[in-house]
Structure 1
Amino acid sequence: MATQNEFLLQVEGLKKWFPIKKGFFSQTVGHVKAVDDVNFKIRSGETLGLVGESGCGKTTTGRSILRLIEPTAGTVLFEGKDVLAMKKNELRRLRKDMQVIFQDPYSSLNPRLTVGQMLGEVLSVHKIAEGNAAETEVKNLLEVVGLRKQYFNRYPHEFSGGQRQRIGIARALAVKPKFIVCDEPVSALDVSIQSQIINLLQDLQNEYGLTYLFIAHDLAVVEHISDRVAVMYLGKVVEIASADELYKNPKHPYTRALLSAVPVPDPKNKSKRIILTGDIPSPANAPSGCYFHPRCPEANPECSQIVPQLAPIAENAGHEVSCIFYPSSLPKVQSKNQQAA
């Protein structure tokens, strides 16, 4: 069983609620619960895949962990230190250890700066290198991510999408981080280029001992790169397990529906597709009980009343699920004496 010291990152009760304001005085009349009580842990050197439909809160979770947006509540521990309690100076120092690779490789790069200026600025801000030393370091970085050092004086518009993403990876690597949030780093790229970037990320992880939170839609890509996978639905993690376990033995009805939609290369081996009915509920007006119950093909009346908790299942302690069909997920009910106390 893993000890607390084995985990590089621990996320507990993370919430990000965006206020809904109306009227002349901009009164808050509700909240969009983009991230609602998310919990997971990542070991050093591990890749945790984070999957789910568009709008489920994956990107908001990643940005909240890095404090690119301020969380509403929760705890984020990085090497035992509370990220959310840090002052600006402490957070600036932490940026060297926690980096991000954005989804759109073009909009994340400054079109007015050359690659050399862009990466050199990172080294200068964090006081890693300046002048000739910085130029040498930037050229080394370019070669590490599979680009030529002659690209030093080129602008972002002179590169292809895959090359731009390599520049984004080089920028993240420049400060020698320990943890990187990969926010759908291959979704904007051609399929042939996706495999190159995935292989590059794996090579860099092996060489530098990096830890990834890998956010993606493509379940095949996530299976390939991840050690463990967390499945999100409407701001909550509904299942988390090792990649092998999750893909072979999914427990949550939502996870099974997602996996049934993955294309199978062999036309003779057709999987039975699980079609979900209805639309995804609004995070501003989430259903009562289990958030998934209006679309769940296995729901019963209790599902609309009980809020299940993410908890280990009996047969596999490393496999956690949030569903009332598993007794460990049922909330602990206090006795009347405990409530009175």
Structure 2
Amino acid sequence: MKRLLIVLLVIALIGWSFAAAARRRRVSESEYQYARAAEARREAASAQSDARREARRAAEEARRAMREARDEAQRALREAGREIREAFHEAREAWHQAGDENRDAWAEGADEVREAVAEAAQDARECVADIPVPIVPGTRTVEASPEPPRAPESPEAPEPPGFPGLARDHAAPQPPAAPQAPSRPRAARPQATPATRPAEPERWVVGLVSVTEERAHAEARKKLEQEVSDWLESHDIPRSWTPPARLVEGMIRESRISRIDKEYGTVYEVRIRPDFSPERMATLRQAYRDQLVRGRLVLLGSALAFVLTCLAALSGYIRADEATRGYYTNRLRMLTAVGVGAAGGAIYHWIA
């Protein structure tokens, strides 16, 4: 009986020892897991703090880069503006210098022309100075009276020594003067008649025959426009330029419509007498020059507007990208490109 109790007691002790060992093992494992979890939490917290520091550093560097880019863009804009102003001043100085040179050249040319005219007049006076016939300005040579040249006077003989006045008292006799021919009465100078302008031949523009009067007038008008284009091209005005309708209408002096009876019916023909005078050409040339200058100004203004639009879009993109801290860079770039393209298309359609 005692042995049985001892065996049971030993078995109980062994079981209790195993249970205690298992409990200690479980406690140690839980502590180890807790320690590992705490260490993992510490590592995650440190990694998160490092990531936040890196993000703040990256954001600071991005803001610094954006500020530098903005400063560079502003500096480039200032440089471009200064270069444009310098180029404008240089162009203006070159223009003034060219104007001064042209004025000096014109003055020198005028002086040379005056000197040449004076020399020519002096040469003409020297050429006619030895002519015995007096020439009166405003008369013709056939109306002058001929005069023989005078006989040369004989030189006085030298006085002999000791006899003063002897050579003067016994001077050589002078030959008798030749009789002058009676002068002819001067004919009346014909009055200059003002030059009359030759009458220009009448020029008619005949349109194609048409069934109705409206179509006849339209055909005549089309023919007149073709004639006007040919006339302008002959005076160095390109055919691509279309004169305004009011000027073409103003060229019509007279319009006649003829009714022609044919076997197949009645047709109409319109004849137009246009004004192809130099005054009308001067009016059309002035209109062409005004339109050419207006087109060039519109083209220059459109180019400046497009450049200003591009600069405004670039400035807006930089400010918006800086305000959003670079989170919408691609979208802002696409929006800027779309805005610039739309502005360019609108300006092109406005010019066209």
User: Shared fold by TM > 0.5?
Assistant: no
Q: Which has the higher helix share?
A: 2
Q: Which has the higher strand share?
A: 1
TM-score when normalising by structure 2: 0.15
| Largest Rg, 1 or 2 | 2
Highest relative contact order (Cα 8 Å, sep 6+), 1 or 2?
Answer: 1
